Structure 1
Amino acid sequence: MAIQIPLWEKTNLTLEEASAYCGIGINKLRKMSNDDNCSFVLWNGSKRLIKRKKLDEYLAKAYSI
């Protein structure tokens, strides 16, 4: 039996989870996180994870994306 953790309690999210969490499309998140200076992306080999708290901070400061 797998344990289901709500998105708002997870530390790191996949692109699909991050898209559902913040309402930004997967392709837009992928484009934003491709930048070398992106503070909210965590690479696990070739797997891209989004740091939820850092993404929240980034979006709170952003005027537009």
Structure 2
Amino acid sequence: MDIVRERELNVPIFQKQNLTIEEAAVYSNIGQHKLRELTADERCPFVLWVGNKRLIKRRQFDEYMSRAYSI
């Protein structure tokens, strides 16, 4: 694989705009099950649906977590 292409695939989590459920779980130390539960609500401000795949909007997720007392 080309070195430039390999660097593109290894973007650090804190530089990504959207995270997978797995990445968000590592990033936040919140379980994948809980993240799926939170993002199942259609009013969830930090979920982005791409077909059947859900992504976590990192900035909105950070804002949500900074205001949350408990989840």
TM class by smaller structure: over 0.9
Q: How does 1:41-60 map to 2 (within 5 A)?
A: 41-60=47-66
Q: How does 1:25-64 map to 2 (within 5 A)?
A: 25-64=31-70
| Structure 2: distance between partners of 1:61 and 1:52 | 14
Identity %: 54
Runs of 4+ in 1 over 2 A off after TM superposition: none
Q: Where does the alignment leave 5 or more consecutive residues of structure 2 unmatched?
A: none
| Structure 1: distance between partners of 2:26 and 2:69 | 20
**Rg: which structure is higher?**
2
Equivalence for 1:5: 11
- Is 1:17 paired with 2:23? yes
Relative to the length of structure 1, the TM-score reads 0.96
- Give the number of the structure whose residues are more often helix, by fraction: 2
- Greater CA drift, 28-37 or 1-10: 1-10
User: Which structure is richer in relative contact order (CA contacts within 8 A, separation 6 or more)?
Assistant: 1
| Structure 1: distance between partners of 2:14 and 2:48 | 17
**Paired positions, count:** 65
